[in-house]
Structure 1
Amino acid sequence: MSGPLRTLRAVAYAVLPAELLLTACLVGGVTVPLPVLTAAEAAIVLLLAAEVFAYLRLRRGGRTRREAVAELAPAPVLRLVGHELRLMRGLFLWVGRRRDGVGPGDRSFGHARDQAAPMYGFTFVCVVETVAVSYLLRDRPAVHKVLLVVDVYTVLFMLGLHAASVTRPHVLSSDTLRLRQAGHVDLRIPLDRIADVRYELLFTHEQQDGVLDLKVAAQTSVTLELSEPVTHVGLLGRKKPVRTVRVHADDARAFAKALREAVNGGRAAEVPVTPA
């Protein structure tokens, strides 16, 4: 990254938190001197103009859109924004009864059934809280409007988490297994790296090196052992090599059987079962 871009990012780190603090003061009824308010707004306008100029310059220099944005914003921020967008997209797909990433000839396996009840419960609690806060703050309209936006978004976020799980099932194609969880996990495993598949219902999971637990409602039901590690990328971009993956599916036995047959080239094979 060049010096000007480092400087621009440093200015953004300083200006944006200050703008959030200023907004909180205004919402809370704190009187802000006009020169301070004017300077803050001018700083935001100049920062946005500088970001646009830098983006256009990077594009003219041959960067793709993704590369240009990555130069201007930290990777964790971009990944968080992408996660939020996937949740909102999941809501639209859910309403339209559509699924993401399932192509012709692919087999999909849902994994959201067992989390539905707790997710709906949490969402109901958020709705009740929204109504209660609106009643308590009815005499403070400015604060009420801000918190109403936050509360409504929280409800959408909870629904989006479940919608993303429903519309992003595990996908088994001719050569790849794609494991997903809500909007933050999308792990592709080549079938030729899967050494063993077994049905194994687990409700306790200890942290172990090289093991990835994709829990749903605190449980996993299928364990995959890999002959070579694959790289799992976390929500904020942290990379972790894994050789054992524990995952859950609504019909875990059918999922394990289909995967075992795919690994064995279509030949049926008995799926080992480990007692719970």
Structure 2
Amino acid sequence: MSRGGALYRMAAHEARWLAGLVWWAARRRIGVGAGERALAYAAGQSAFVYALTFVCGVETVGVSVLLADHPVPHAVMLVVDVYTVLMMLGFQATAVTRPHVLGTDTLLLRAGARREIRVPLAAIVSVRQELRSAHDGKGTDGAVAMAVGGQTSMTLELAEPVVAVRLSGRREAVRTVRFHADDARGAAAAIRAAARDRPAAGDPAAVRQG
């Protein structure tokens, strides 16, 4: 990927989390239409994010006091520290305002402002609750993992591959997607119910539980 393309994607990511702060303050969600169901996942990381934000806030105050007699370094570090606090809050804001979205034809899986994977309901062969430790990315078994708080709680098996695009722009074709939902049981039931109305690709039988 070109340097210009990478810079554009990073700038777009920055714009999304900054916009997420505004939507979060307004208590609104992005991309959830009428008749669609939002599947939340932000609670899985909230304790960690708020704890780290608190630590960053304390550090900001401490550094500000230490550099009070040095105007230029004080101003520079204040900007850096405030930006870091905003970035941490933006990380949580985008997770809250950009939930997974279950529509009539597709399941849109999100990882905050970092990535999205659109899964046709007709391609889902099985969906199951499965708590696994994972990092964001592609595992050794070829499954893409959209982890929250270092873990995933659900696994989708697909009849045909879908394209997963990383923040860097790299595209991957995957047939297994692991992700997190705060209410994994409810999310699994809702996805199965929606997918039953869309026969799985190459398999007219109902979607399996796993």
How does the TM-score come out when normalised to structure 1? Answer: 0.69
Separation in 2 of the partners of 1:198 and 1:210? 17
Q: 1:219 aligns with which of 140, 151, 175?
A: 151
Deviations 1:101-154 (A, max 9, x none): 001111111000121111000000110111111111111101110111111000
- The residue identity in structure 1 corresponding to 2:110 is R
Show CA shifts across 1:224-259 (max 9, x none): 011111111111111111110011101101101111
Match of 1:84 among 14, 17, 24: 14
Q: Count how many residue pairs are aligned between Structure 1 and Structure 2.
A: 202
Who is 2:162 aligned against?
A: 230
Richer in strand (by share): 2
TM-score calculated relative to the size of structure 2: 0.90
Which position in structure 2 is the counterpart of 1:193? Answer: 123
Q: Which residue of 1 aligns with 2:45?
A: 115
What is the aligned partner in structure 2 of residue 184 from structure 1?
114
**C-alpha distance in 2, partners of 1:190/1:226?**
9
- 1:171 pairs with 83, 101, 113, which one? 101
Larger Rg: 1
In structure 1, C-alpha distance between the alignment counterparts of 2:49 and 2:197, rounded to whole Å:
38
Cα distance, 1:203 vs. partner? 2.4
CA contact (8 A) 1:230 1:243 kept: yes
Q: CA shift at 1:270, angstroms?
A: 8.8
CA contact (8 A) 2:105 2:121 kept: yes
Q: Which structure exhibits the higher relative contact order, with contacts defined as CA atoms closer than 8 Å and separated by 6 or more residues?
A: 2
Residue 18 of structure 1 corresponds to which residue in structure 2? none
Structure 1 residue runs of 4+, over 3 Å off?
A: 269-273
Which residues of 2 match residues 125-274 of structure 1 at below 5 A? 125-204=55-134, 207-208=139-140, 210-265=142-197, 272=209
Cα RMSD for the two superposed structures: 2.1
Unaligned runs of 5+ in 1: 1-70
Find the aligned partners of 2:45 and 2:115 in 1 and give their Cα distance.
Answer: 16
Does the residue aligned with 1:144 lie in a helix, a strand or coil? Answer: helix
Specify every segment of 5 or more residues in structure 2 that has no aligned partner in the other structure, as ranges: 200-205
Q: Once the 2 structures are TM-superposed, how far is the Cα of residue 209 of structure 1 from its aligned partner?
A: 5.1
